[in-house]
Homo-oligomer: A and B are copies of this chain.
């Protein structure tokens, strides 16, 4: 079964469980609204690709890990869009959850999705309880405090920002989770997969800065110039467009070089290259040359 099909099926199954029984109907609907149709599903695709490169000997675990990671990501988008953060009217070309429903339901949708992410992983503990709890720990570590995406967002309320910690937690954390959870799901140790995730995260940060600076609101489906508006650090502001593009190429070359030795190493390198071309519409297609 193609990766895309496995990811969508695992997410849909988890959302359906969250909507079962005598659940409040609008919140149940909002769970689906917040997670489908998805964006590029980049994080679970990376996770699955790493799991496959490591042998993917227990697809139930990698399916669950991919769904949990993407659902955590969707939860963070719902909360990030809230009026007290980005106050975004649009997400993926449709109204944000608090616009389509209401602010209380957007808070609850995020909360319920965070909880669901951990429930998904606990449910596959009967396959391998050790790997399941390692997956839960990895996801928690990259999502919460002190070094997950909550920490990343929290830096934006500080007067003085630790830039390295900010970037690593804000953008890098869920990519580190992607590579490490892929390895864990397939029974490999996660340490040597840290660098690949961190580098992909850095690449996304720079790519996001480039898109933010260059594209207009219509193409992107969300307001542009948000980073500048809030005075956040930005690679384009720091290096200029050409400098940022050069940095991006460096980071991606390093990412591919960092892939640990494993059965599916060559194929994984191709996947990273493909994802890179997909996320960087501002660059010529063959940017790795």
A residues with CB within 8 A of B = 17-28, 31, 75, 79, 82, 84-85, 101-105, 107-108, 110-112, 114-116, 118-119, 121-123, 125, 129-130, 132-133, 136-137, 140-141, 143-148, 150-151, 153-158, 162, 164-165
Check A137/B154 contact, CB under 8 A, given A22-B146, A114-B115, A115-B144. Answer: no
**Nearest B residue to A135, CB-CB:** B122
Q: Which residues in B have their C-beta under 8 angstroms from that of A145?
A: 18-19, 23, 27-28, 31, 112, 115-116
**Nearest B residue to A150, CB-CB:** B112
Further pairs besides A75-B111, A118-B136: 13, Cβ < 8 Å: A18-B144, A21-B147, A23-B147, A24-B154, A26-B154, A28-B145, A104-B153, A107-B107, A108-B150, A108-B153, A111-B114, A116-B140, A122-B137
**Nearest B residue to A130, CB-CB:** B129
Report the minimum CB–CB distance from A127 to chain B (whole Å). 11
Complex alpha-carbon distance, A107 and B149, angstroms: 13
The 3 closest A-B CB pairs, nearest first, are: A23-B146, A115-B144, A27-B154
Complex alpha-carbon distance, A21 and B155, angstroms: 13
How many copies of this kind of chain does the complex include? 2
Contact present for A140 and B153 (CB under 8 Å): no
Contact present for A140 and B157 (CB under 8 Å): no
**Nearest B residue to A18, CB-CB:** B145
Contact present for A104 and B156 (CB under 8 Å): yes
Contact present for B140 and A118 (CB under 8 Å): yes
Contact present for B140 and A104 (CB under 8 Å): no
Contact present for A123 and B137 (CB under 8 Å): yes
Q: Which residues in B have their C-beta under 8 angstroms from that of A146?
A: 17-23, 28
Q: Which residues in B have their C-beta under 8 angstroms from that of A101?
A: 157
Contact present for A24 and B144 (CB under 8 Å): no
Q: Which residues in B have their C-beta under 8 angstroms from that of A111?
A: 75, 79, 110-111, 114, 144, 150
Report the minimum CB–CB distance from A202 to chain B (whole Å). 17
Q: Which residues in B have their C-beta under 8 angstroms from that of A140?
A: 115-116, 118-119, 122
Contact present for B119 and A157 (CB under 8 Å): no
Contact present for A157 and B104 (CB under 8 Å): yes
